[in-house]
Amino acid sequence: MPDITGVLLAAGHSRRFGSNKLLAEIDKLALVLRAAASLSPCTRLVAVVRRDDLPLQSLLKEASIELVFNDRTDSDMGASIAYGVSASKNSKGWCVLPADMPFVLPSTTQEIVTSLQQNATLAAPFYNGRRGHPVGFSHDLVNELMALDKEPGARGIVEKNIQRLTMINTNDAAILVDIDTPDDLRSSIEPSR
């Protein structure tokens, strides 16, 4: 099967959370590791992290997750996507997931991966008509992805190529659930289980 790389975006600062939210535990497992598990259908997994986030690096290394460093600490999510894609630029495609989305079902990711392996240019899950994560990008978009910098993500690439988007309707409400604050974490339930 063609190589699809999971890109876990873990270089944020957790400003609204007040501490490193990716290390917060949900059922005794760090939030970031739950998000990583959501990308388990990918053939490779890279986590994009800040070089100064040593506790997160240690946790991810312990879980045998490949690290990619985002040295642009002032950058937005777009730069993290660019770093992750650049580190795996020979992949057939990428499945991109923000690391603060810990409840996405691996079966949802598998549908994205399968779409990319079947030559979709873009693939995204939809719940009740709303697009969520992870989003899949084929190698056709490698140069656009590697050129991202101050963008808040790859939304511009998706919108520019919307006619090439494979929509995957799902019952997985977690594709819309991210954790930004302690209240989000406290009130979070696994919406699709």
Count CA within 13 A, CB hemisphere, residue 57. 10
Residue-wise pLDDT tens digits, 30-42 = 999 999 999 999 9
Check residues 75 and 60 and name the one with the higher pLDDT: 60
Whether residue 192 is predicted with pLDDT greater than 60 in this model: the reply is no
State residue 160 phi and psi, 5-degree precision. Answer: -65, -30
Using DSSP's 3-state secondary structure scheme, residue 99 falls into coil
Specify the pLDDT at position 93.
Answer: 98
Strand 29-30, strand 25-26: pairing: antiparallel
Contact partners, residue 139, CB within 8 Å, separation at least 6: 91, 92, 93
Contact partners, residue 131, CB within 8 Å, separation at least 6: 124, 125, 158, 167
Q: What is d(CA 68, CA 36) in angstroms, rounded to the nearest whole number?
A: 14
In CATH, the architecture of 4-184 is Alpha-Beta Complex (3.90)
Q: Of 32, 25, 89, 88, which Cα lies nearest the Cα of 57?
A: 32
Specify the pLDDT at position 73.
Answer: 66
Q: What is the pTM of this model?
A: 0.93
For the chain, the structural domain boundaries read: 4-184
DSSP annotation of 20: -
Q: Of 153, 182, 172, 162, which Cα lies nearest the Cα of 18?
A: 182
Residue-wise pLDDT tens digits, 103-119 = 999 999 999 999 999 99
Distance of alpha carbon 105 from the chain centroid: 13
